[in-house]
């Protein structure tokens, strides 16, 4: 069954994963996250090596924590607040509801800071517009009005 990733996240009660980039994407769901530490017997060592696991229930390589991890994740979920902090850290804080808008704002801000002639309202500052484009072609300055 093929299903878009976001729909799969929405349908799931929790995620069980190894260390993977998809873990960070799943954090946006605010649902419990269980991670399998295939090379670690100590969950603290796994979390220290993989910061995205800080808010996850960790199953050690010998599976001794399997039942406790699943019970916690699907029960009272004591890591919910920590997972929210991690999601804010990795996914952009409270602005993550509209990430494209925040990204565009940051790019506009960066252009102004770098003196590239692009103003926060999206218009060009004609006094700064000269120079060359990204292909090395000389830009011409338009006369001031």
As a three-state string, the secondary structure of 81-110 is HHHHHHHHHHHCHHHHHCHHHHHHHHHHHH
- The pTM assigned to this predicted structure is 0.62
Mean pLDDT of 101-111: 81
Cα dist. 89→18, 51, 55 in Å?
20, 11, 12
pLDDT of residue 145: 47
pLDDT tens track for 36-68: 999 999 999 999 999 889 889 999 999 999 999
Residue 134 has pLDDT above 70, yes or no: no
Q: Residue 13: name the closest of 1, 28, 30 by CA.
A: 30
121 has a pLDDT exceeding 70: no
pLDDT at 141: 46
Q: What per-residue confidence (pLDDT) applies to 117? A: 58
Helices (H) and strands (E) in the chain, counts: 6, 5
Lowest mean pLDDT segment, chosen from 24-33, 60-69, 85-94: 85-94
Residue 144 has a pLDDT of: 47
Tokens of 128: 């700064």
What is the Cα–Cα distance from 35 to 43, expressed in whole angstroms?
A: 10
């Amino acid at each position: 069954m093929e299903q878009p990733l976001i729909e799969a996240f929405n349908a799931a009660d929790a995620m069980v994963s190894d260390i993977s980039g998809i873990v960070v994407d799943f954090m946006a769901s605010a649902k419990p996250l269980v991670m399998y530490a295939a090379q670690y017997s100590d969950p603290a060592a796994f979390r220290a090596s993989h910061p995205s696991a800080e808010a996850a229930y960790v199953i050690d390589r010998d599976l001794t924590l399997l039942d406790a991890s699943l019970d916690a994740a699907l029960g009272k979920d004591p890591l919910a607040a920590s997972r929210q902090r991690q999601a804010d850290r990795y996914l952009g804080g409270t602005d993550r509801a509209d990430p494209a808008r925040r990204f565009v704002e940051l790019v506009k801000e960066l252009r102004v800071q770098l003196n590239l002639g692009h103003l926060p309202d999206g218009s060009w500052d004609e006094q700064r517009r000269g120079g060359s484009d990204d292909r090395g072609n000389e830009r011409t300055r338009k006369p001031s009005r």
